[in-house]
């Protein structure tokens, strides 16, 4: 049984702000890559489960969000733990990474999602769609 550590939403937000204060927006790319790494690990341990089901399971069971719905091209997320009210821009970078990786494995082609709506910036939910340049 792997050891786990708990981290609160406030702590996660403090980590994000710390990294932003050091390396500006570049940390968002790193958080995104963290999400991809988490998804890779989950998929490796999923014993052939459908990638989208494995990704959803990772997100819900580990508490990254309250619900995930995959759409035709992307995903919608409710209750993201990466959400931080009053932010100037989208904040759910790790979840974006997780979703990108599982969609990529499912589609068998490169997928890079962008967050086009985020509760951090006043959206009703967090919505992710493929980048045009991906």
Partner 1 sequence: MILQDIVRALREVTKAEAAALINRDGAVVAADQLPSVSHETFSIMCAAILGAGMTAMTELRHRAPRRVLVESEDAMLLIQEVGRRHMVVLSLPPGTSLDKLDGVVRRFSESVAQELP
Residues that bind partner 1 (CB under 8 A): 21-30, 32-33, 93, 112, 131-133
Q: Nearer to partner 1 by C-beta: 28 or 56?
A: 28
Cβ proximity to partner 1, 19 vs 79, nearer residue = 19
| 3-state DSSP assignment of residue 84 | coil
Q: How far is CA 48 from CA 22, 45, 97, in A?
A: 40, 8, 20
Nearest distance, CB of residue 114 and partner 1, angstroms: 9
| Element of type H or E holding 115 | strand 113-117
Q: How far is the CB of 103 from partner 1 (least distance, A)?
A: 16
User: Would you say 10 or 132 has its CB closer to partner 1?
Assistant: 132
Report, in Å, the least distance between residue 132 CB and partner 1. 7
- Minimum CB separation of residue 33 from partner 1 in Å reads 7
Q: Which is nearer to partner 1, 8 or 21 (CB)?
A: 21
- Give the H or E element holding residue 69: strand 67-70
Could you tell me how many residues make up the chain?
Answer: 134
- Taking residue 134's Cβ as centre, other Cβ atoms within 10 Å add up to 12
Three-state SS for 15?
helix
What is the gyration radius of the CA atoms in the chain, in angstroms? 14
């Amino acid at each position: 049984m792997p050891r786990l550590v708990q981290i609160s939403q406030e702590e996660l937000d403090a980590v994000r702000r710390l990294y932003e204060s050091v390396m500006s927006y570049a940390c968002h790319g790193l958080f995104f890559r963290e999400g991809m790494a988490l998804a890779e690990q989950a998929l490796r341990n999923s014993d052939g489960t459908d990638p989208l089901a494995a990704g959803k399971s990772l997100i819900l069971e580990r508490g990254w969000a309250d619900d995930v719905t995959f759409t035709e091209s992307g995903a919608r997320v409710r209750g993201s733990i990466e959400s931080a009210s009053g932010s100037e821009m989208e904040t759910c970078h790790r979840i974006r990474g997780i979703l990108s990786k599982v969609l990529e494995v499912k589609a068998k082609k490169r997928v890079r999602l962008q967050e086009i709506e985020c509760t951090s910036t006043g959206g009703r939910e967090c919505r992710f769609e493929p980048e045009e340049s991906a």
